[in-house]
Structure 1
Amino acid sequence: MNLLTQYKTVRQLTESICKPLQKEDYVVQPVVDVSPPKWHLGHTTWFFETLILKAHAKGYTEYDTNFNFVFNSYYESLGARVIRTQRGNLSRPTVDEIYLYRAHVDKAMEQLLAGPVSRELETLIVLGCNHEQQHQELLWTDIKYILGHNPLFPAYSDQPPKAHRKTSRSPLAQIQEGLYDIGYDGDDFCYDNEQNRHPVYIQDFMMATELVTNEEYLAFINEGGYKNFVHWHAEGWDWVRNNNIEAPLYWHFIEGQWFNYTLQGLQPVRMDDPVIHVSYYEAAAYAAWQGKRLPTEFEWEAAADRFTWGACWEWTESAYLPYPGFTRAEGAVGEYNGKFMVNQKVLRGASAFTSPGHARVTYRNFFHPHLRWQLTGIRLAQ
């Protein structure tokens, strides 16, 4: 796939994700972690305009000088910005204006890509495409949160979800102790936090070849898992009590039956599906209840060829830290990962919402332990 085709494919997918939405859906921000869909549309466009067109396209005319303030996410080196909690207050620019903004930038990008592109510029454009793919996954989960917290539980789509099928005959994979090379060493795209590839010594361990299912997690609920502090980290137990947590996100107990919100609306919980939308606190508590544990991110990568992954992001026991030899890039691009390496846990794998071609075994996702609006699940180790 050439660079222009890659760019157009990524940009079109973003808009196709938003196509089923009503105008009112584009503006809602129920909580700080969820951004309105129209902000994602604008921010991913701002990335190409600010970091590529304004710096590399001769004669480029900036669409609106206010948009740098509106759509800058967290790049301190690129100026002031609307704080994250205020994104839902942006009734202007309108949805229609943002689509015009996208068209303006797309036209300029296509003109830029029609000519010769340096290796440095190509690298930056590929980063921009991968950045937008990240926001595609966020779009899916933010849309689900917006609709899933509407009292009417409206459906995003009437397409039935894919059935989950177990893929392994053996419930556990034995992984031998030894040195394992961890991190990316290929020639295709990766984020800087996936490098440098380095050896890690791992002890013997066992890894579950299947994810924890809704049925298995329901047993934890039914046996008082959310009411017994023994299973929980201290911060996790405080989180449960302070927020009255009793089940995974989107679960509702109605007339003696568990339902959960899906993109197809409110549905009975499908017992064979992997449990998703659980926090690290919940994942760790479930593991403790089972007398097991979560794998480290290094164990996960060493064992990944022994099981099927990609249904949901999988919590690990690893803190989000830089690999040996990590160096922060200069300028705004260097803010992309370096500034977040504190107080977060690593997740591995991918999810059903991950954009095509974006998943790889070395990908390191990361979130604070209490967050669960992403498709986050559990794989056990022992």
Structure 2
Amino acid sequence: MRLSSACRSACCCCGLGRRARHRLAGGADFVRRHLAFALAPAACLLAVESGGLVAFAVLLLGALLGLLSLEAYLVYCRNEPPESRYFVDHPSRYGLPSQTVFLDSGRGARLHCYFIKQPGDSTRLPTLLFLHGNAGNIGHRLPNAALLFHQCRVNLFLLEYRGYGISTGAPSGTGLYADAAAALQHLSRRSDIDPQRVLLFGRSLGGAVAIELAARPETAALLSGLVLENTFTSLPEAASVLFRLPLLSSLPGLVMTNRFNSRAKMPSIRVPTLFISGLRDTLIPPAMSACLHSLCGSGVRRLETFESGEHNTTWQCAGYFQRLAGFLHFASEMAPQREDWHAGQHSEDEEDQSAGAAAAAASATSAAGGASAGTTADDIPTITVL
């Protein structure tokens, strides 16, 4: 059967282009997707002929099936754009000294990663585990990584989730958590960095993955800090923003299997946490970052907003890297007090020590060519970088 041009366009928009169809042509996923698309016209036909309550029920069932069939594709956009699915750009194109790392993460997942290390004694600098959003691959993040490397003077570990880029396996919520935990364990065993100066950076969906690790005691013990940029309170709540009608806005909470409920996990977080929010983000409401900030259980937390920041461009705003660098070096210098954060106890003596650590961070960064302002946990320094 030949499809009309309109139908072919709809298939491509739903991620079922030629290459994607070949990738999905097998197993339960193929059956589930195509069954839903096959039932949608039938649901419409029954609705027209039956009328009333039956019509509404049939249409609602069709909507639910459609959401279920598209959920995995919409959440994990590893085929966006399709031609870049199997191509991952290399750090050498940006002049970054890198090492390619492959990690085993269970259930047949072999993860492709880049480790980008500062020259000289990299053990005295923070190391950032970078968890990207739901689309593309780590190659698309290299322009951002280059600025992080030069502007913030940090080591970088770019993790590619299972099923993304050339990493094997299929993405899922538990799978992404396992991937990030495997990368964190790898960093804790490296001898060319300080394992007490490792921080998580999560953007959008990556923020939900980072929150999960920071909320687990066994993985939080390996962290000195957490950075969350334009992330959501939960995936159903983020999806409901796209549905304007009150009845439709409740559907994601009813049918979505990928929940990433960060709202419930935030009170368990004890590591220093920086929230970055672009106020022009039309995909994830900035109010969600403010909500997570208010729920965060850490005694050292800060919310930075950028007036012109959009969902994918906040890192291009003026002052972004100065504020981020100040937090990264501040948190890494506080690493020896990490056990106190996890216990959730901050005595006056510990606060004095925090102030001393911040002053040490400012002094160290100033010696490297920057300047600092602020020396307490509540006044995290902003560093001027070149």
Q: What TM-score comes out, normalization by structure 1 length?
A: 0.30
The structure that is helix-richer by fraction is 2
